[in-house]
Amino acid sequence: MQTERERLVARTYESVLIVDDHPLYSDALAAALELAFPCCRIEKAETLNEAIACLEGGFAPELVMFDLKLPDVTGISGFMRLRRHLPDTPVLVISSLASAALVQSLLREGAIGFLPKDSSAQELRAVLARIAEGETHVPHAFQAHGDAAAHRRCGSEMNPMLASLTPQQQKIMRLICAGKPNKQIAYELSLAEATVKAHITALLRRLEVNNRTQAAVLVEAALATNPSDDPEARAFLNR
């Protein structure tokens, strides 16, 4: 029986792209990779656009470690844009906030696995060992059976909930999904920032979430799980 360390030695990565806008976490991932794969070339990007520029500059990673929430994109839409540039490269999604429905959507779109940001270094090494051998990794809590009620909510209830938002709230929600801060939303919609905040408070209450990040993840999961032909609904995916 091979140990995790032996499995890492059996299959190594020579190039990895880390896409994460938190320098401390990005540096920690890079350090863990350097320990696991001493000869690995590691490139880092803080935004999706930086990652794409790195790829267009000639870097061809054997693995991508991708955060769902970036300054220029939030959720599955960013992952799908990345996949269009790297259709055959394993992508391990790492995020501090997700749902079983969203993780399953990511897997259907080709992710090699999902890892919560609060995972330990030991768990990260074990996951790297598994995906190095072509295995898919999904924590038990995010597997399809792990949150059936939430999955049903996303699939059957969320689109009506989105439809119940006012037109202005829907515009704001789309901009939230695009990663826009309140000040930019106010500018683009010609609203006072205080008015934007009031709309966000109301739509968070309607979607039954605590903050805008949770709202964006929930909306992305809903539309990926139960896509609509309605152009307004598809716009939430920011494609």
Query: 109-168, pLDDT tens digit by residue?
Result: 889 999 988 888 888 888 888 888 778 888 887 776 534 444 444 444 455 667 677 888
Q: Quote the pLDDT of residue 156.
A: 41
- CA neighbor of 14 nearest in space, from 60, 46, 56: 60
Going by pLDDT thresholds of 50, 70 and 90, the confidence category of residue 211 is confident
Q: How many CA atoms lie within 13 A of 202 on its CB side?
A: 15
Burial environment of residue 102 by CB neighbours within 10 A (0 to 12, 13 to 18, 19 or more)? buried
Residues in the chain, total: 239
Query: What span, in angstroms and rounded, lies between the C-alpha atoms of 45 and 51?
Result: 5
Three-state SS string over 61-114 comes to CCEEEEECEECCEECHHHHHHHHHHCCCCCEEEEECCCCHHHHHHHHHCCCCEE
Listed in sequence order, the residues at least 6 apart from 29 whose beta carbon sits closer than 8 Å to its beta carbon are 18, 20, 65, 94, 124
Tokens read off for 233 = 């609904």
- Fold classification of 149-237 is Arc Repressor Mutant, subunit A (1.10.10)
Question: What is the average pLDDT score of the chain?
Answer: 79
Question: In the predicted model, is pLDDT for residue 237 greater than 50?
Answer: no
Q: Where do you find CATH 3.40.50.2300 in the chain?
A: 4-142
CATH architecture for segment(s) 4-142: 3-Layer(aba) Sandwich (3.40)
Three-state secondary-structure class, residue 88 = coil
CATH 1.10.10.10 domain span(s) along the chain: 149-237
Angle at 213 (CA atoms; ends 210, 214), nearest 5 degrees: 50
Global pTM reads 0.62
The mean per-residue pLDDT over the stretch 28-40 comes to 89
pLDDT computed for residue 37 by the predictor: 85
- List the end-to-end C-alpha distance of the chain, in Å, as a whole number: 46
Please report, for residues 90, 96, 142, 167, 220, the alpha-carbon distance to residue 225 in angstroms, rounded to integers and kept in the order given.
Answer: 22, 20, 14, 23, 8
Structure tokens at 89: 């490269």
Angle between helices 76-85 and 100-108 (to 10 degrees): 20
